[in-house]
Chains A and B, each alone.
Chain A
Amino acid sequence: MPVQDFEKIFQDKIDAEIKIEPRDWMPEAYRKTNIRQISQHAHSEVVGMLPEGNWISRAPSLKRKAILIAKVQDEAGHGLYLYSSAETLGSSRDEMIADLLSGKAKYSSIFNYPSLTWADMGAIGWLVDGAAILNQVMLCRTSYGPYARAMVRICKEESFHQRQGFESLLVLSKGSEEQKAMCQDAINRWWWPSLMMFGPKDSESTNSDQSMKWKIKRKTNDELRQQFVDMIAVQVKVLGMTLPDDKLKWNEARKHYDFGDINWDEFWNVVKGNGPCNKQRLAARNKAHDEGAWVREAAMVYASKKANREKQEAA
């Protein structure tokens, strides 16, 4: 069968909402885009453990400590499912991790911002996980089967993360003046980077059109970003806090909130590696990997020794 026919069958499936599975024929670019996107997503989960893990030892109550540990542990679990999903496309976890550690692969830029106060744990849950969820809910219907199924599981846990983040800020918002100030400060610092999480404007996004046609994505960056602004603009009122944008205003004609201009210079700067924590995040991942090398090696050597012994006993 000529390639054109394979491509037609493939696109027909997608148009008919039939999931693409690992053994199905797929265009090389579809495979590559999915590997890139899923592995970036996995890396984001793993690097995302750092700014939050940073506060586990200092969590202000035992309950908050338990919630935070459980949450960061969930992120590690998400990383695992996602690496497994990407592996179904023929890329190994070792290769993907090597690309992360060398700086070749990207991860969500949001994690290159520092978590400076306890309120950041709430703001990350509410805003960062909130932004991630909108993207992930969409991805539950993405065309590649293993990715879509991983997302269904992940979304359940992420929505718990967002709720706990909001609830934690709610307590601060009802607390002392210092706690209220801490809460507002965290919102101020995390708001704009959260909006940047949806990626460049549609007019400047290089991968968007093809990804929409292949139903890897089902909503554009700008659509998701608007959905996020509309959601948060309402929720922030419950906190009695404000978003740091004087152009934020309900637009009756559009039935959406208008909002101010994103600082795209900052966005591209962080993507290029100049964010406040890019170096530290990669250094932390590299350190863990390097210092774990002898552990992984010992585990492999032991496993093969054990297998040999069992073989000898059986013989």
Chain B
Amino acid sequence: MNSSLIDYIQHLADNALIMAQRNAEWCGHGPVLEQDIAITNISLDLLGQSRNFYQYAAQLINESEKSDEATEDSLAYLRTERAFKNCFLAEQPNGDWAQTVLRQFFFSAYQFLLYKKLQDNTDEQIAAIAAKALKEVTYHLRWSSEWVIRLGDGTEESHQRMLTAIDELWQYTGELFMPAAYELESGFDVSSLKDDWFNKVVAVFEEATLPVPEKCFMQTGGKTGIHTEHLGFILAEMQYLQRTYPNAEW
């Protein structure tokens, strides 16, 4: 069994699922109806991406174990905190609208470069999922860039809130580009995306009249299952029905 490939696919899936779960918390509570729809739509896209990756991971697990027990739901609902491989960034709380759009911008800028590269992956299934998702992510990146600019260059308050959001989230961006072992074995060296990502951030921040942070200490651990304390609560809520009623069909 190629466990690093399975880990890699689950890492891609977990990132998308946890971001989807966070963004969906806005549903019904957005600052204006059009944006409630937009953030929920992004959540739905990410959820769809996670399902594609989980289904593929489940297929590989079942093939190698000659079983049919792994499903998209068993992977999403029955793994515990330490098995999840999403980045720290994805699990950070929504905070205010500034924090949510900045998190989305950092993440989408990363996913955009990642999927662009993965669409040429030798694994045809990964390549196909990435190619399909790239269209969605292109929109997410445009939407979130526009919001970063709008809030950065909006009012004094919105500018201040963006500064606070940058201060909160910047420390979680370094991890995106520090490859875990499974990425190097089954994906590619994500550190190669860092310069392009940074240039995109600089361009958008410049237009948004926001300062690019100085080098600072970067938190890491999510990719290898050492998470922030937030993830446990996300999973407790998300997994509660599957845990309460084992083996039930829904």
Contact = CB atoms under 8 A, between A and B. Distances in A.
A62 B76 contact: yes
Contact of B44 (A53, A58, A73, A175): A73
B33 A80 contact: yes
Contacts of A60: 77, 241-242, 248, 250
A73 B161 contact: no
Given A57-B21, A179-B245, A62 B47 contact: yes
A62 B54 contact: yes
Contact of A49 (B21, B28, B154, B245): B28
Given A58-B240, A72-B40, A76-B36, A295 B151 contact: yes
Contacts of B240: 58
B27 A72 contact: yes
A contact face: mostly helix, strand, loop, or mixed? helix
A187 B191 CA distance: 54
A299 B28 contact: no
A212 interface: no
Nearest to B43: A69
Interface residues of A, number: 48
A168 B87 CA distance: 33
- Interface centre among B97, B237, B245, B250, by most chain A C-beta atoms within 10 angstroms, is B250
Contact of B51 (A62, A288, A292, A305): A62
Contact of B30 (A69, A168, A174, A292): A292
Given A49-B27, A57-B238, A175-B248, A301 B44 contact: no
Contacts of B173: none
A18 B21 CA distance: 48
Given A73-B44, A302-B154, A62 B50 contact: yes
B27 A118 contact: no
Contacts of B123: none
B186 interface: no
A263 interface: no
Interface residues of B, number: 48
Contacts of B66: none
- Interface centre among B27, B51, B54, B161, by most chain A C-beta atoms within 10 angstroms, is B27
Given A292-B30, A294-B157, A61 B250 contact: yes
Nearest to A297: B155
B249 interface: yes
Contact of B248 (A70, A179, A301): A179
B228 interface: no
Contact of A69 (B29, B47, B51): B47
Contacts of A56: 24, 27
B51 A66 contact: yes
B62 interface: no
Contacts of A294: 155, 157-158, 161
A298 interface: yes
Interface in A242-290: 284, 287-288
A171 B44 CA distance: 23
7 contacts: A62-B17, A72-B27, A72-B40, A73-B27, A73-B40, A171-B249, A291-B96
Interface of A: 46, 49-50, 53, 56-66, 69-70, 72-73, 76-77, 79-80, 83, 118, 168, 171-172, 174-176, 178-179, 284, 287-288, 291-299, 301-302, 305
Shortest 5 CB-CB distances between A and B: which pairs? A292-B31, A298-B154, A298-B158, A53-B28, A60-B241
